[in-house]
Amino acid sequence: MTEIDADAALRLAALQGQSWIDEAVAGRIAAGADAAVAAVTEALANEPAGLAACSVGSFLATLEALAGVER
């Protein structure tokens, strides 16, 4: 899996005109994107249909559970 880095997030933010995003915020965005990709990858590897089979109502809760987010 390719890691999403802060430089890429910062460049994309600049292209979108999001000048408030600095290196620190870009780092957090990149880390969050990596965690989301890892969670989806793990779900697809561990479940026959993974998140693709979740109902609309349970998708976010399933994704958060896979990412270790506590509510």
Angle, in degrees to the nearest 10, between helices 56-67 and 23-46: 110
Mean pLDDT comparison of 18-22, 44-48, 52-56, highest-scoring range: 18-22
Number of domains in the chain: 1
28 located within any domain? yes
Residue 58's pLDDT is 77
Which of 24, 58, 36 is closest to 7 using CA atoms? 24
Range of the domain at 35: 6-67
User: What is the structure's pLDDT at 10?
Assistant: 94
14 or 41: whose pLDDT is higher?
A: 14
Q: Kindly report which listed range (27-31, 37-41, 57-61) carries the lowest average pLDDT score.
A: 57-61
In a domain, 1, yes or no: no
Q: pLDDT at position 30, please?
A: 92
Cα of 19 vs its chain's centroid, Å? 21
For residue 46, being part of any structural domain is answered with yes
pTM: 0.59
